[in-house]
Amino acid sequence: MKFIVCENHSHLAEVISDLIIQQVMSKPDSVICIPTGGTPIPAYQRLIEKSKNIDYSRVSFFNLDEYIGLPPTHEQSYQNFLKKHVLDPLGIALSQQHLLRSDSPDPILECLRNDAEIDYFGGFDLMLDGIGENGHIAFNEPSDHFEARTHIADISTSTRLANARFFDSLDEVPHQAISVGFEDIIKAKHLILMATGSRKASVIERLVTESTISCDFPISFLRMHPNVTLVLDKAACGRSIDVLINTGQSL
Ligand code: GLP
């Protein structure tokens, strides 16, 4: 696992946007899976500003996850979020946007459709992901098992509480979501995880200090991934900051 420690959230936005551009320049037909949440927003803004001369016409974009039951026009529908914050400003054609639907009449079919599309494109070249405060990735929540592929997930109370800041009230936060599974995460050729702020410090400390892999701490699964880059700001490093800085880019 490689670590990049950034001064602050703005610095992280520079690093993440540069990594995405490097990916697209080195493989113009890249298949990229991207996240929502507060963490990536500044990176998406920088990406848009830096992309005037970047050709995205052959890049395919997928999303990591999506709430079930929100209208697609809802501010917090992840499809709507990604279109607004990154895909439409970058000029990504609809045919290149492979997004989960929050209003699918049959979420199980929507999962199968997503798996078929991922398979058609041969999996992800780059997956970018945030980290939940309880160690979830996408909507793979702490559980007694790992899900391999796109699936319907029950959103934990702690995640609903964490995400309630984006809604008018906790009651509005959906109880279920669709999420990619660990098979597609582990097969991504490069996985970039990002975290900012002291709210993420305890999960990062646990990731750095423990060595087990367990489904009650989903992010621990990534210890098995051969090419993970964890991009953190100093606040997210918490008490592990000396270890992370002293070991430079890798641990
Ligand atoms: C949500 C999403 C995740 C995201 C996480 C972190 O629960 N399902 O995909 O990584 O929140 O979000 P934030 O960046 O706002 O901390």
Asked whether 141 lines ligand 1 (CB < 6 A), one says no
For ligand 1, atom 2: residue with the closest CA = 138
Structure tokens at 172: 């509005």
Q: Is 229 in the pocket of ligand 1 (CB under 6 A)?
A: no
Atom of ligand 1 nearest to the CA of 64: 9
163 lines ligand 1 (CB under 6 A): yes
pLDDT above 90: percentage of residues in the chain: 94
Q: Residue 213: pLDDT above 60?
A: yes
Q: Whose CA is nearest to atom 5 of ligand 1?
A: 132
- When pLDDT is cut at 50, 70 and 90, the band that residue 159 belongs to is very high
Question: How do strand 228-233 and strand 2-6 relate by DSSP bridges?
Answer: parallel
Kindly tell me if the per-residue pLDDT of 211 is higher than 60: yes
Q: Is the CB of 82 under 6 A from ligand 1?
A: no
Structure tokens belonging to residue 195: 């975290």
> What is the Å distance from ligand 1's center to 65 Cα?
10
Domains in the chain (CATH in brackets) are 2-250 (3.40.50.1360)
Residue 50 has pLDDT above 90, yes or no: yes
Answer yes or no: are the C-beta atoms of 134 and 141 closer than 8 Å.
Answer: yes
Confidence of residue 251 (pLDDT cuts 50, 70, 90): very low
Q: Does residue 238 line the site of ligand 1, with CB under 6 A? A: no
Does residue 15 register a pLDDT over 70?
A: yes
Q: What is the pLDDT of residues 77-105, one digit of tens each?
A: 999 999 999 999 999 999 999 999 999 99
User: Do the beta carbons of residue 65 and residue 180 sit within 8 Å?
Assistant: yes
- What mean pLDDT, rounded, does the chain reach? 95
Beta bridge partners of 176: 154
pLDDT tens for 172-199 read 999 999 999 999 999 999 999 999 999 9
pLDDT at 247: 72
Q: What number is the average pLDDT over the span 138-157?
A: 96
Enumerate the active-site residues: 65, 134, 136, 141
pTM to 2 decimal places: 0.95
Q: What is the number of the ligand 1 atom nearest to the C-alpha of 130? A: 10
Q: What is the pLDDT of residues 121-143, one digit of tens each?
A: 999 999 999 999 999 999 999 99
Q: How far is CA 17 from the centre of its chain?
A: 14
Per-residue model confidence as pLDDT tens digits over 54-79: 999 999 999 999 999 999 999 999 99
153 lines ligand 1 (CB under 6 A): no
Q: Which residue in 9, 77, 66, 75 sits closest to 43, CA to CA?
A: 9
Instruction: List all residues 6 or more positions away from 95 whose beta carbon is below 8 Å from its beta carbon.
Output: none
Instruction: Return the closest-CA partner of residue 219 out of 251, 187, 191, 238.
Output: 191
Ligand 1: centre distance to CA 154 (Å): 15
Taking CA 136 as the corner, what is the angle to CA 174 and CA 47, rounded to the nearest 5 degrees?
90
Query: Sign of torsion, CA 121 146 212 208?
Result: positive
For ligand 1, the distance from its centroid to the CA atom of residue 131, given in whole angstroms, is: 6
Predicted local distance difference test score (pLDDT) of residue 250: 43
Residue 33 in contact with residue 59, Cβ under 8 Å? no
Res. 248: pLDDT tops 70: no
Q: What is the DSSP letter of 155?
A: P
Q: Report which of 136, 133, 120 is spatially closest to residue 185, judged by C-alpha positions.
A: 136
Residue 12 predicted with pLDDT over 60:
yes
- 18 Cβ contact list (under 8 Å, min separation 6): 50
CA 36–ligand 1 middle distance (angstroms): 6
183: three-class secondary structure by DSSP: helix
**Residue 159 near ligand 1, beta carbon < 6 Å:** yes
